[in-house]
Structure 1
Amino acid sequence: MRRQQTAILEWLLLAALLLAGAWVLWIQLRPPRGLGPQIAAHAVAITATPLPGTGTRISGARLAGALALASDDPGFGGLSGLAALPDGRLLAVSDAGQWLLMRPVVQGGALVGVTDAEMGGLPAPPGGEKYDMDSEAVQVSPDGRTWVSFEQQHRILIYDGVPPRRPVAARWHTPAMRWAPNGGGEALALLPDGALLWLPEHAQAGVHRGVFTDAAGQTSSITVAGLPGFAITDAVALDGARVLLLHRRFTGVETAAALSLIDVAALPSGSATARPLLRWDRNSAWPIDNMEGAALVREAGRPVLYVVSDDNFSRAQRTLLLRLELPAGMKN
C-alpha cells in the first residue's frame, strides 16, 4: 500500500511539473497579443497598492517602496521595458506594442503611488504590421528621441519625441538574426558617450551574443557571460564605465530576479562578464514577479533604480513597480 501511495504521489508531482512547464512555455512562446488598430493616446486610471518590505535590504540595496499596479483599461499590462525621463516620469513599453507614461509619487523617499498616467500605441513604420510590434526595451536619448527594441522581427525603431510619435529611423544588425523569435533584444542601453549595447534574453552556450555600437558608430558582435540559470531582461548605463543588467528566472515553479554589473571597457574587446550584485526570490522580503524593465535615476548623486514586472496579461501574475536605493558605493 505504501509503495502504491508513493507511486501516486510521484505521478501527481510529475503531472504538476508538466502543467507548470506547459504554462510557462505558452506564456513565453505564444505570439504577441494583437490589438488591432493603433491605440490613440489617452489618460488611464491606475490603482497602486502598496506592498510590504519597504526598508528591507539585500546586499546593501534598500527597497524604498513597492506597488502592485492595476487598471481596468484593457490595454494595461505586459510591461517589458522601462526608461526614466528628465522630468521625473517613467516611460514603459509593452508586449502589445503600447507605451505607458506615469509619474512616481515619492514621499519621504518611499514610492507610495503613481499619477498622471497615459498610454497609447507605438506607431508602426510604413508597411509594418501590428504583430511585429512586440516591444521589449526602451531608452530615451539626450536629443529627446525614443529608442525601442522589438522581438519577433528583431530591430530597434527610433521615434521622434516622448511619447513616441512617429518612427524616424530603424536599426537592423546581422547578429540579431540568430536570436530566438521570442528571446531576442530584451536589453537596450544607451551609454553617456552615445554608444549602444543590445543584448538578447537567452544565452547560447552560456553566453548572450549581442551587439555593441561604440561612440564612433562602429558596430561589432559581442558576448556577455550572464548569470547561470537567468535570462537578461533589461540594461541601463550606471555611468560611463558600468552597465547594470536586470536578470530574471521565471519557470512557473521558481521566480527570482537579480542585478549584475558589466564593465564598459570590456565591450570593445568583444566579451564581458557579469558580476553579481544582488538577488531576490519568493522567499525574500522584496516582492517578486516576472521582473523585466529597469530605469535609473540619480538623487543627490545616489543611484535609484525602478524595476517593473511583466504580467504577461495573465490574471495569475501582477504588474509590480519597485524602487531600489542602490548601495552608496555605486555613486559616480
Structure 2
Amino acid sequence: MRPPQRNDSQLISARPVAIDSDRSSDRRVGTLIITEAWEIDSANTGFGGYSAMALLDERRFLLASDTGLLAGFTLGRDGRIDRQFIAPPPAGPGKGNFKVDRDMEALTADRARGQFWAAYEHSNQIWRFSRGFARSDGHVAPAAMRRWHANGGAEAMVRLIDGRFLILSETTGARGGGGTAALLFPTDPVESPNAEPIQFAYDAQGRGRVTDAAQLPDGRILLLQRRLSLVDGFVSTLSVAHVDTIRTGGIWRSQTLALFSPPLVTENFEGLAVEDSPEGAVIWMISDDNLTKWQRTLLLRLLLPRDAMPTARPGFAAVP
C-alpha cells in the first residue's frame, strides 16, 4: 500500500462555464448581471475548499481555504491565469497540522496599507497579516466570540471604509433568541483588543446561513447567504443591509438583491469581494468545493449597474 502522492503544483487554470442551462443569453439575476463565470482548478492536492476571498488589485485575487492554505492569481479577461501561487500563511492558530487549527472562514483587507485580517473557526480568533502575507503582526480572541460554536463561528468579516469591523457568525444563536450572533467593533479588534463591540443579531429570514459579506461602493453591506435544498441543491442569495441600522441587542435584516438557483449556475458559494468601477459595483463570488471531486470551484463576476445603486456616499469611491 503506497501513501497518496502529494502534488505541489503551482499552476492554476480557468475555463468558462455556462451561466444558464436553459437560457444561455439571459444573464440577469434580479438587479444584477452575470458578466463572467469560470471554473478554477489546479492539480495541487491542497487546492480547493475556498471560503473567503479578497481583491488585491483589479482581477487579482487572494483566496483562503478551510485548510488554511492561500491561493493567489490574476485572471485575464480571456481566462489566462498569471502570477499564481498556492501556499500556507506564515502563522495562525495552533500548529496547523489539522483542519480545526486553521479553518480560515473570513478574510478582509486594507488595500491602502496592505494589511489583511483572517477569522478562524474553532479557535474563534482574528489574525492580522502584513503586506503580502509576509508575517503576522498580531492576533486576538475577542471575548464576545469565545462562546461562539466551534464549527459555527465567524463566517463573514468586513473592514468597513470608516475602520469599523463587522463580523457575523454562521450558526451561533444570538442571546435572547432570534437570528445569529453578530458584532460591530468600533475599530480594529487586533489593535484594540479591549474595545467593546455592539452585539446584535442577524435575521436571514429563511435565506440560509451567512457565508460572507462585503461593503458596496454606496456604503451598504452586501450579504451572501446559502441554503441546501433537496430539489435544487445549493441555493444562494445576495442581499443588502444598511450598517447604520445596527443597534445593540437589535435584529438586523436585509433586502434580497438576487437569487441563484437552477437553471442558473449554482454551487456552494462562500466567498465574496466587491470593487468599484465606472459601470457600477463589480461583485465576485467564489464557491467552496469542500475538497471533493463532485463539486467545483466556481468564480462569478456580477455587475450591479450604477443606476441601480443609491448615490454613493461622498469620498467612498476614492478610498482603496
Residue 50 of structure 1: aligned partner: 16
- In the alignment, the residues of structure 1 paired with residue 114 and residue 94 of structure 2 have an alpha-carbon distance, to the nearest angstrom, of 25
- SS of 2:137's equivalent in the other structure is strand
TM-score by length of 2: 0.82
Structure 2 gaps of 5+ residues are 1-6, 20-24, 189-194, 313-320
Moved over 6 A (4+): none
Code of the aligned partner of 2:170: E
Q: Residue 214 of structure 1: which of 182, 186, 197 is its match?
A: 186
Letter of the 1:291 counterpart? F
Q: Is the 8 A contact 1:138 1:148 kept in 2?
A: yes
Is the deviation greater in 144-153 or in 167-176? 167-176
Amino acid at match of 1:237: Q
Quote the residue 2:139 is aligned against: 170
Q: Which protein is richer in helix relative to its size?
A: 1
One of 69, 77, 83 as aligned partner of 2:40: 69
Across the two proteins, how many residue pairs are aligned to each other? 285
> 1:277 maps to which residue?
257
Residue of structure 1 equivalent to 2:89:
122
1:280 is aligned with what amino acid? Answer: F
**Shift of residue 120, structure 1, vs aligned partner:** 0.7
Whether 1:194 and 2:167 are equivalent positions in the alignment is no
Aligned-partner residue type, residue 157 of structure 1: W
CA shift, 1:129, in A, is: 4.0
- CA RMSD in angstroms comes to 2.3
SS in 2 for 1:175: helix
Deviation at 1:123, TM superposition (A): 2.2
**Is 1:182 equivalent to 2:151 in the alignment?**
yes
After superposition, what is the alpha-carbon deviation per residue over 1:281-331, rounded to whole angstroms, capped at 9, x for unaligned? 1x233x111100001111116100110000010011111000001143126
2:235 is matched by which residue type in structure 1? Answer: A
Instruction: Please give the alpha-carbon distance, in whole angstroms, between the structure 1 residues aligned to 2:46 and 2:35.
Output: 28
Distance in 2 separating the partners of 1:160 and 1:49: 32
1:67–1:113 CA contact under 8 A, matched in 2: no
Taking the aligned partners of 1:199 and 1:218, their CA distance within structure 2 comes to 16
Counterpart mapping for 1:1-332 below 5 A: 44-53=10-19, 56-86=27-57, 88-106=59-77, 112-125=79-92, 128-131=95-98, 132-141=101-110, 142-162=112-132, 164-202=133-171, 204=173, 205-215=177-187, 218-239=196-217, 241-250=219-228, 254-271=233-250, 272-281=252-261, 283-285=262-264, 287-300=265-278, 302-328=280-306, 329-330=308-309, 332=312
The letter for the 2-side match of 1:86 is: D
Residues 298, 58 of structure 1: CA spacing in aligned structure 2 closer, same or farther, 3 A cutoff?
Answer: same
Relative to the length of structure 1, the TM-score reads 0.79
Q: Distance in 1 between matches of 2:220 and 2:249?
A: 15
Identity among equivalent positions (%) equals: 28
Q: Give the secondary structure class of the aligned counterpart of 2:214.
A: strand
Match of 1:10 in 2: none
CA separation of 1:126/1:196 partners in 2, compared to 1, >3 Å: closer, same or farther? closer
5+ residue gaps, structure 1, are: 1-38
